[in-house]
Structure 1
């Protein structure tokens, strides 16, 4: 720990404040060290300290890291997502009141309900009913997964802002926005269906709002008295409101963040939310030593950030190691390095410039290909860069983006085979059987499928179709032949 981190780690357990630090200044390391110190010194018990993060993925990572070197038994995970913390509060309240226990409505479950309701809208329109959706949102748009995701995001943000379906319809009428009006009407129907089918289920936004209201009304048993928040700049409106309610209940909140970094805008995070969070605290800490970057790169990044407006805090925008004693500064020889900029008039010129620079470093400076990297904005650019650089004689290897296991072709094909095997022979769709035969597991190509079709047709004409599958009716064989 440098001296700026040490001040955070040594702060008393009841300290509430904002810890600012640019990227790579050790915010997460300070959180882990502070948690370990509080538990080892006995200032708090394992039940009274919790690390919060905006997402479940980062919470899982911190959960493993905080317990790796900790020889103290804990009753549960020491790191959780904000939504999980809200669920804990709502569940504790339900247990105390003897109400049915709440359940979290997952994104796939929400997507399935929304898809069913959209299909109902489509069926009503085909039967002659008036469509609630404007013409700009046609049937093809409403059938897409992206549209359903946008609806979920709209409902979540409206919930966090305290809006009801009627409010969304009213705002649509006032601002002449038919999309909002249609979404408000659809949202009302969606909530009605959920209240009938799944009365105990709540989506994450509803869970956050309900937990906030519970904390405003009365204290809740079992809630930790020390909260530390990592990546606080990624918090949504609902998460910030929950932390405000926690401060009302005298729960210590220490939020760590960098307002110049943000990737959670699609969840409602933004400069305004961080400014609201910063206004909660009078005490502030600033982490000053950059651990992951050379000083030249740090200066460039902070110069660019300094030309952009800030929300709530700007104390982290300082020269590298400013305010630190000389012994803690990064005085590695050659640490400055060199940064150059290239302006391209077209994407093709940009690809040419990147390939030229990579080849130059490899040939003239002797750098191996595996020591060179190209950083892109998103995975779509990565895919195009891979193809374009390979065409320019630059060997490339791209890390594939993580996908849900169910979307992998091999997994989908295997699950389809399992489903077909579990279904009764008379209920196996011919189209799915043909797809299974031509899958990597079936091993047939188009020619093999035609040969199978010829064999089946010959045996059916000879009245021997049952020899291949005793439980498969001739009608089903004919269906398979038509499919083939």
Structure 2
């Protein structure tokens, strides 16, 4: 996006050099103020002025560029560095707080800033030790975090206005806040002095004023505090100074900044007005017309140009659908990058709601501006909780919270499953419920289940951290992040879904955590334990420029954080009455804002509420609309509970209710197009192809099941080769050849039951006494795999009861002739081969075959015609034995049941012969008949192959 070019209004008595359009040569020397509305090119002009000063022979080290905050400084320094032809040893732009801190560091190398959590800790100790507490409040109130924050705000106002305790005492009208400040301010200053740190509120006012710069340029001077403007005034004595700003855009008036501050502080400075260059002059003109007249000047836009768009919706879902659709449309039809679009809301909670809503509609988003405190970011909180568990004992609730975090990944069901699995271990069966989870972290367990593996992950990390008790904060954080393996989150973060947003939030939190740990270590504030405890207490987000995920995403920001930025398109959704504008008085329990208003001359008494909320809210809207270069859309909801903001009336907008339904479910759209294609309607095949190119899940044919051709049409067994068949599969083949095929080639789903059956068969083969059978089972039990220890114990009890039934049979069995008797029958191409569990000799010399069953116990009718037993009898007859029949020894119900099959009859032998002939003909073929009506309709495995379906992958 090309930045706006600054053009001075014709009234400016400066001739413009041809080398730099829009640049007034007067700005090279002396003190000046440049006033311009949003989009007029103030920041661009500042960058051009830096380049022109350098062309005049000034070195970069002699040029100081200041901004109100670090984010603006970061953007501006990049711009200046790219445009400049000279190398600089220092940053080309700095926030005023960063510069002031650097000045302190020059004077005292070891100076450090007092963190927000350290401030709160000092105040908490002072409040708890004060003999006069609780100043008319109950003890529950003064112990609240919010009350400590109120005191912190009050102390900050006193420090920003350089109030001495004696000056507080001289204020005639006393309030609770003034009484508390009078008592605590000297104690607080003494505690800060003992800590060896510098309070942030004193950072600018106490910074050394000596600087060797010849040129000082200030961007967005309207957002500088009183102390900041005074600092700039003293620095610029005898120097060249240019202040850039717009009094109408000041958004920090609720603190010590004043809208007209930078102009009133420099009343004799020549003013240069930039020509308004915004597409939305009509809206900005109406807004600025509601601001104080003394701020008016040629910089204000005239009532011309296009108006902003306006819509209302019946609910948030409809508004979010429309917003997501418009963003997508701009992305596809206008070839606009996501980062060229901004969604501006009044509050941070609104941004969080919008981020979730847009992510759910596959729109990538990135929340800009002030981030949450690390303890309020789930992934960072999990890492901090892990450090606390490693270096300091914790409650069981903390362990559960860690296990449920995104660092570990257990949900509530997983927690319950893990608890049951741990109780199955003897060490936890009778443990104290209050200490259950804390105890669980002391013993590593065999990783049989995913829950146990995740618990072991935590245990291993704790062991590693405890092995480095003196680790620094960066070292401890690195150990955790290395084990957490963020590469998986990087893969998930490449998409646009809610899952991708969650992954990117985790990555951003990790980067902020590392940056905070590095700052903590550089300032020599303590070890990893101190760091984690301090961060868990800190409710105020740190001012950080830590890197974030660099995906192309829509920028979600509040109006106060949009300073110095410009976007092609700006959406302002959820403009609701009571939210924006927020006309609630800017007051507080202890009156910090009232005291600030009294000290700045806004009110006559410190017990008066400072009013002027509407003007502050108008300035925020003014900045938000001014950030749009080509398109600006306002929207709100209208219902019995929600009414649109009064800003619509102020701007002269009459939005109609939008009843258009926006279908933004791309999966549903893909399904609709595919259903049409399935019945031969090719009308939307081009759109389906476009969705496939965009990577919409399910759109590309490669993800469709049921379309691929057969991998081969060759028969299972080549002509001339033997068809090998197991007698145990005869029943399945007779029931349904397709069913037999699935079971024989990977679809039998055999698991623990099959493994246990194999073990019991082996124990039966070993024979011997009952104790020997149990010993064999015990020594081979480790060969079986289980999902959990409790399952292993349950199944072992079941196996022992089954083994007892086997022993009961062996104690009364006939003489064993052969165990695991091998045999082979050849009938044409068919080769039946197998093993008979036992061949027993009866007293009359005849033999009987015995088959052990560990599954369902068959009925006597089933055993009489049992195919597998009949084949065993045929095999023994081929070996020349006189048959006494066969029997099934069933232990599947954990008790012994013996079922007899008589010697082969002509009828049964005829059935078996016919069945074997069918097997010979079909088992080696390329196709298999499906018994649909009698079997397949009730069998899921068969339906997998015979169903004619096309589904998304």
For normalisation by structure 1, the TM-score amounts to: 0.71
- Give the match for residue 204 of structure 1: 200
Change beyond 3 A, Cα 1:155–1:13 = farther
How far 1:387 moved relative to its partner?
Answer: 8.4
How far 1:64 moved relative to its partner?
Answer: 2.1
C-alpha separation between the residues in 2 aligned to 1:113 and 1:6? 55
Please tell me whether Structure 1 or Structure 2 has the larger radius of gyration of its CA atoms: 2
How far 1:270 moved relative to its partner?
Answer: 2.3
- Give the match for residue 276 of structure 1: 264
For normalisation by structure 2, the TM-score amounts to: 0.38
- Give the match for residue 163 of structure 2: 163
Q: Could you tell me whether the CA contact under 8 Å between 2:286 and 2:303 is conserved in 1?
A: no
Change beyond 3 A, Cα 1:185–1:320 = same
Q: Could you tell me whether the CA contact under 8 Å between 1:275 and 1:313 is conserved in 2?
A: no
CA-atom RMSD, angstroms?
4.2
C-alpha separation between the residues in 1 aligned to 2:380 and 2:386? 10
1:457 aligns with 2:438: no
Q: Could you tell me whether the CA contact under 8 Å between 2:273 and 2:299 is conserved in 1?
A: yes
C-alpha separation between the residues in 2 aligned to 1:318 and 1:387? 36
Q: Aligned with 2:229: secondary structure?
A: helix
- Give the match for residue 814 of structure 2: none
Q: Residues 245-278 of structure 1, C-alpha deviation per residue, up to 9 Å, x if partnerless?
A: 224x312221100111123235422225244234
1:66 aligns with 2:55: no
- Give the match for residue 104 of structure 1: 113
1:223 aligns with 2:212: yes
Q: Could you tell me whether the CA contact under 8 Å between 2:253 and 2:259 is conserved in 1?
A: no
- Give the match for residue 143 of structure 1: 144
- Give the match for residue 225 of structure 2: 236
C-alpha separation between the residues in 2 aligned to 1:63 and 1:258? 21
Alignment of 1:241-256 (within 5 A): 241-247=230-236, 249-256=237-244
C-alpha separation between the residues in 2 aligned to 1:430 and 1:24? 55
C-alpha separation between the residues in 2 aligned to 1:373 and 1:73? 33
- Give the match for residue 418 of structure 2: 448
Q: Which runs of 5+ in 2 are unaligned?
A: 9-19, 433-439, 446-953
C-alpha separation between the residues in 1 aligned to 2:34 and 2:429? 78
How far 1:358 moved relative to its partner?
Answer: 6.5
How far 1:134 moved relative to its partner?
Answer: 3.4
Q: Aligned with 1:457: secondary structure?
A: coil
Change beyond 3 A, Cα 1:403–1:289 = same
Q: Could you tell me whether the CA contact under 8 Å between 1:259 and 1:310 is conserved in 2?
A: no
How far 1:66 moved relative to its partner?
Answer: 1.5
Q: Could you tell me whether the CA contact under 8 Å between 1:9 and 1:30 is conserved in 2?
A: no
- Greater relative contact order (CA < 8 Å, ≥ 6 in sequence): 1
Which residue among 96, 104, 117 is the counterpart of 1:82?
96
C-alpha separation between the residues in 2 aligned to 1:17 and 1:185? 44
C-alpha separation between the residues in 2 aligned to 1:229 and 1:316? 18
Q: Could you tell me whether the CA contact under 8 Å between 1:278 and 1:313 is conserved in 2?
A: no
- Give the match for residue 378 of structure 1: 347
Q: Residues 52-93 of structure 1, C-alpha deviation per residue, up to 9 Å, x if partnerless?
A: 01112222222222112333222211211112332344444x
Q: Could you tell me whether the CA contact under 8 Å between 2:351 and 2:367 is conserved in 1?
A: no
Q: Aligned with 1:445: secondary structure?
A: helix
C-alpha separation between the residues in 1 aligned to 2:403 and 2:110? 46
Q: Could you tell me whether the CA contact under 8 Å between 1:153 and 1:267 is conserved in 2?
A: no
- Give the match for residue 885 of structure 2: none
How far 1:283 moved relative to its partner?
Answer: 0.9
C-alpha separation between the residues in 2 aligned to 1:268 and 1:466? 51
Q: Could you tell me whether the CA contact under 8 Å between 2:275 and 2:298 is conserved in 1?
A: no
Q: Which runs of 5+ in 1 are unaligned?
A: 322-335, 471-484
How far 1:2 moved relative to its partner?
Answer: 4.6
How far 1:223 moved relative to its partner?
Answer: 3.0
C-alpha separation between the residues in 2 aligned to 1:416 and 1:352? 36
C-alpha separation between the residues in 2 aligned to 1:395 and 1:404? 27
Q: Residues 124-163 of structure 1, C-alpha deviation per residue, up to 9 Å, x if partnerless?
A: 6xxxx5415332x86346522x544444443333223231
How far 1:284 moved relative to its partner?
Answer: 1.1
Change beyond 3 A, Cα 1:314–1:303 = same
Which residue among 372, 377, 385 is the counterpart of 1:416?
385
Which residue among 103, 109, 117 is the counterpart of 2:126?
117
1:288 aligns with 2:275: yes
Q: Could you tell me whether the CA contact under 8 Å between 1:160 and 1:205 is conserved in 2?
A: yes
C-alpha separation between the residues in 1 aligned to 2:319 and 2:325? 10
Q: Could you tell me whether the CA contact under 8 Å between 1:54 and 1:81 is conserved in 2?
A: yes
Q: Could you tell me whether the CA contact under 8 Å between 2:6 and 2:41 is conserved in 1?
A: no
How far 1:410 moved relative to its partner?
Answer: 1.6
Aligned length: 411
Q: Could you tell me whether the CA contact under 8 Å between 2:215 and 2:240 is conserved in 1?
A: yes
Q: Could you tell me whether the CA contact under 8 Å between 1:302 and 1:318 is conserved in 2?
A: yes
Q: Residues 20-49 of structure 1, C-alpha deviation per residue, up to 9 Å, x if partnerless?
A: 00011111111111112212331x222211
Q: Residues 369-395 of structure 1, C-alpha deviation per residue, up to 9 Å, x if partnerless?
A: 9999864322333455678999xx999
Q: Aligned with 2:265: secondary structure?
A: helix
More strand by share: 2
- Give the match for residue 468 of structure 1: 443
- Give the match for residue 181 of structure 1: 179
Q: Could you tell me whether the CA contact under 8 Å between 1:234 and 1:263 is conserved in 2?
A: yes
Q: Could you tell me whether the CA contact under 8 Å between 2:378 and 2:405 is conserved in 1?
A: no
Q: Aligned with 2:64: secondary structure?
A: strand
Q: Could you tell me whether the CA contact under 8 Å between 1:227 and 1:254 is conserved in 2?
A: yes
More helix by share: 1
- Give the match for residue 300 of structure 1: 283
How far 1:238 moved relative to its partner?
Answer: 0.3
